[in-house]
């Protein structure tokens, strides 16, 4: 998959326009000059608008969040539902990782990703735009967090960097990093899937999302991993109990169907990326485990990355 968006499309458009203007200039130089000035002004305005939406300095986003301008904040992070960026108001009912309208409950997709969302890890040899290069630049939007809550995020990042040194999270550099991840106190736990270009988000609500395992779970989404139970070989390990799952959540239990999906390792019941057994809303079992000697209490754990999780990440970013 090759992604053309924003400034790339504008550049292609400008090249074609300038070629046509060159041909016009050979016959009607005055008309060509007037056309050039008119077209260039419009194209530059479009280019500036594209760059504004795609590349925004984090300080500006922090200011929008701090002053309660959540509509603009969500627009620049390309989050359609503004309620997802407003801080949770405490005593929230339900699991903050199950957000209606998000893929899998906690994956925020860009429009160009939606048709390939359940094809596992969305990378291929040709799809270099979605894979981070060497490290993940990040910034923590401290608005809405206490100092101890910020420390929890920093501790999880340190743990990640210690255990998976080949794809570290590093503080964003204004000079070198146009693409970056912003951790912020949104309404629920969710993340973009892989590197999407420009500013992107990891929402960690102060009300329920700051356990170490949950933070590592969302960080894993941000480098491109989906949920373990969506693997195409899932039926060898689970039987989905559709009768216990609300109709509007059934699609979240679909299998990946891509023939060339990279599994990168064995099925891991205890993966930090695995769904818990209770179904959203009903709390009834959403699946039955088919393998023997599996500790059911550990399925859906959010304590931390397993050895298998780490090995898969190392393979992808080796």
Binding-site residues for Zn(2+) sit at 217, 221, 227
In angstroms, rounded to a whole number, what is the distance separating the alpha carbons of residues 281 and 301?
19
Active-site choice (62, 103, 212, 218)? 218
- CB of 224 within 8 A of CB of 193? yes
In angstroms, rounded to a whole number, what is the distance separating the alpha carbons of residues 266 and 316?
14
Which residue reads 């981070």 in tokens?
132
Cite the annotated binding site by residue number: 217, 221, 227
Assess whether 71 carries a catalytic annotation: no
Active site amino acids:
218
């Amino acid at each position: 998959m090759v992604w053309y968006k924003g400034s790339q499309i504008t550049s292609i458009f400008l090249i074609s326009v300038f070629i046509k203007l060159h041909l016009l200039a050979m016959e009607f130089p005055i008309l060509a000059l007037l056309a050039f000035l008119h077209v260039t002004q419009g194209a530059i305005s479009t280019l500036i608008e594209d760059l504004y939406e795609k590349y925004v300095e984090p300080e500006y986003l922090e200011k929008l969040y701090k002053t309660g301008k959540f509509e603009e904040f969500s627009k620049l992070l390309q989050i359609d539902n503004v309620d997802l960026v407003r801080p949770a108001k405490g005593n929230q009912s339900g699991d903050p990782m199950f957000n209606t309208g998000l893929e899998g409950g906690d994956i925020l997709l860009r429009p160009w990703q939606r048709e390939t969302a359940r094809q596992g890890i969305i990378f291929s040899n040709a799809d270099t735009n979605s894979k981070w290069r060497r490290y993940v630049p990040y910034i923590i939007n401290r608005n809405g967090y206490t100092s101890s809550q910020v420390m929890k995020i920093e501790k999880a990042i340190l743990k990640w960097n210690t255990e998976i040194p080949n794809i570290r999270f590093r503080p964003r550099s204004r000079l070198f990093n146009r693409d970056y991840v912003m951790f912020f106190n949104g309404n629920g736990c969710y993340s973009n899937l892989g590197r999407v270009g420009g500013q992107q988000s990891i929402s960690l609500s102060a009300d329920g999302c700051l356990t170490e395992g949950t933070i590592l779970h969302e960080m894993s989404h941000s480098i491109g991993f989906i949920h373990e139970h969506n693997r195409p070989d899932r039926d060898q390990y689970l039987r989905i109990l559709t009768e216990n799952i609300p109709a509007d959540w059934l699609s979240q239990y679909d299998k990946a169907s891509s023939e060339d999906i990279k599994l990168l390792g064995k099925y891991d019941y205890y993966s930090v990326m695995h769904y818990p057994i209770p179904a959203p809303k009903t709390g009834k079992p959403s699946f039955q485990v088919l393998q023997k000697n599996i500790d059911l209490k550990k399925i859906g754990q959010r304590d931390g990355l397993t050895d298998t999780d780490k090995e898969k990440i190392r393979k992808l970013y080796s």
